[in-house]
A and B are shown apart, each in its own frame.
Chain A
Amino acid sequence: MNAPEPREVGLFAAWLGVLFLLGGLALFFSTPLRSKRLAAEVDSVLAEVQDKRRLSAAETTWGAAGRASLGTLRYSVQKSDAVAVLVPHTLHGLGAYFLYLLSPQGGVEGPIPLSDHSRRVLERMPAGLLRIYADRVRASGAWLKERE
């Protein structure tokens, strides 16, 4: 097997460099807007269920997300010490996002469905599975607190 020519290797590195750079810039600059849009969406869900709490800012807690579930997002709540946790649930291959509100004492409120789809998935979720998800949210909060 022949070794690749230096030009080929250079082009390969250039392609990867440009693509990773453009992708990274797009992710970096769109993050504040995406985070704000998601918070606004969750606020409208809270308003629908007559909850007066509103999300304030996304929390970056490296490693904590994985403790609750892959793809979990955390937000601080305005005028409150509670944390809003958005957790994806999976049932028979169907995924849906739910909102949990985690109090500083470790109490968990939720799951609050975020769309028509998550409402339908929630109807089918066994109580035991829901308890596991709530426990994972509680555990992630406790783990974060311990780390602080």
Chain B
Amino acid sequence: MNSDIQNHPLWGRQAPLSNLSGLGFILIASGRTAFALLGALAAVWTYAATVLTARSAAAVLPRFGRSFILTVLSCFYATLFHLVLSILSPVMAAEASLLILLLPALFMSSGLWRRVEASSIDGAVRRALAEALIIGSIMVALALVREPFGFGSISVPGPRGITELLGSPFAADSAMRFVASSSGALVLLGYLAALFRSLKDLYVRSLDRQEKP
């Protein structure tokens, strides 16, 4: 019964709605390269610190309310990240508040804990880092398309908020503003997902051909 639900096209793990869980975070973070870099750093810190703490203290982690504890734990580490950022770069921290606020939801909806629950501490942290880096890479890749086209510049996080590099008034005027908006990001993400699927199909087909004599 359980496997039926997990494989169900609406309720299952591979269902479109399940796969959209991290979309809000990716859309906001990929608006500018500075947000994407900061989001990636925050994701790496929150994922690794949460998994390391929960895995190290597994003996005293109760089954009762475990998901809630993990949510609060990831909120705690995301808040710590925001506190340190607001001391180092207060304007950047203010501008990235919503992004960091969404991190615990991303962590919980990723279902990472279930995948690393039985692993060693080392393996669990490595898996958490890998997943956070993959999300971070997707955000940075998307931001590297959205920002030059949407804003006519590339930005990095700096002590005085977002600092623009390689920008010019001409590039900003001729930028395609639609790409910088959330709807533009959705369109881009759709194309990226289609490209990913066709590359995956090609790879699977080439593996099948190698296996056949």
Whether A88 lies near B83 (C-beta < 8 A) is no
The prevalent SS among residues of A at the interface is helix
| Interchain CB contact (< 8 A) of B83 among A7, A15, A19, A27 | A27
Cβ-based interface call for A8 (8 A): yes
Cβ-based interface call for A123 (8 A): yes
Contact A93:B155 (CB < 8 A) given known A86-B94, A117-B95, A117-B162: no
| Interchain CB contact (< 8 A) of A93 among B94, B97, B182 | B182
Complex Cα distance A48/B72, Å?
Answer: 41
Whether A95 lies near B95 (C-beta < 8 A) is yes
Whether A92 lies near B83 (C-beta < 8 A) is no
Cβ-based interface call for B151 (8 A): yes
Count how many chain B residues have C-beta atoms less than 8 Å from C-beta atoms of the other chain.
Answer: 45
Whether B72 lies near A33 (C-beta < 8 A) is no
Given the complex, which residues of B lie within 8 Å of A71, measured CB to CB?
94, 97
Whether A92 lies near B76 (C-beta < 8 A) is no
Contact A34:B83 (CB < 8 A) given known A95-B98, A115-B162, A117-B161: yes
Cβ-based interface call for B200 (8 A): no
Whether A120 lies near B94 (C-beta < 8 A) is no
Cβ-based interface call for A132 (8 A): no
| Interchain CB contact (< 8 A) of B155 among A7, A20, A23, A116 | A116
Complex Cα distance A114/B32, Å?
Answer: 16
Stretch in B84-92, B106-114, B120-128, B202-210 touching the partner: B84-92
Complex Cα distance A123/B181, Å?
Answer: 14
The proximity string for A residues 1-26 relative to B, scoring 1 for CB distances below 8 Å and 0 otherwise, is: 00011011101101110011011001
The proximity string for B residues 179-192 relative to A, scoring 1 for CB distances below 8 Å and 0 otherwise, is: 01111010000000
Stretch in B2-10, B13-21, B63-71, B133-141 touching the partner: B63-71
Nearest CB in chain A to that of B182: its residue: A93
Whether A34 lies near B31 (C-beta < 8 A) is no
Given the complex, which residues of B lie within 8 Å of A26, measured CB to CB?
79-80, 83
Cβ-based interface call for A44 (8 A): yes
| Chain A CB within 10 Å, residue with most, of B63, B68, B95, B167 | B95
Cβ-based interface call for A60 (8 A): no
Cβ-based interface call for B213 (8 A): no
Complex Cα distance A7/B62, Å?
Answer: 8
Cβ-based interface call for A81 (8 A): no
Residues of B within 8 A of A (CB): 27-28, 31-32, 34, 60-65, 68-69, 72-73, 75-76, 79-80, 83, 86-87, 90-92, 94-95, 97-98, 151, 153, 155, 160-164, 167, 172, 177, 180-183, 185
Please provide the 8 A-B residue pairs with the shortest distance between their CB atoms, ordered closest to farther.
Answer: A115-B161, A93-B182, A92-B181, A117-B162, A38-B90, A4-B64, A8-B64, A11-B62
Residues of A within 8 A of B (CB): 4-5, 7-9, 11-12, 14-16, 19-20, 22-23, 26-27, 30, 33-34, 37-38, 41, 44, 71, 73, 86, 88, 92-97, 114-118, 120, 123-124
**A–B complex contacts, Cβ < 8 Å, 23 sampled:** A11-B62, A12-B68, A16-B72, A19-B69, A19-B73, A30-B83, A37-B86, A37-B87, A38-B94, A41-B90, A41-B91, A44-B160, A88-B97, A92-B181, A93-B27, A93-B31, A93-B185, A95-B98, A97-B95, A115-B91, A115-B162, A115-B163, A117-B161
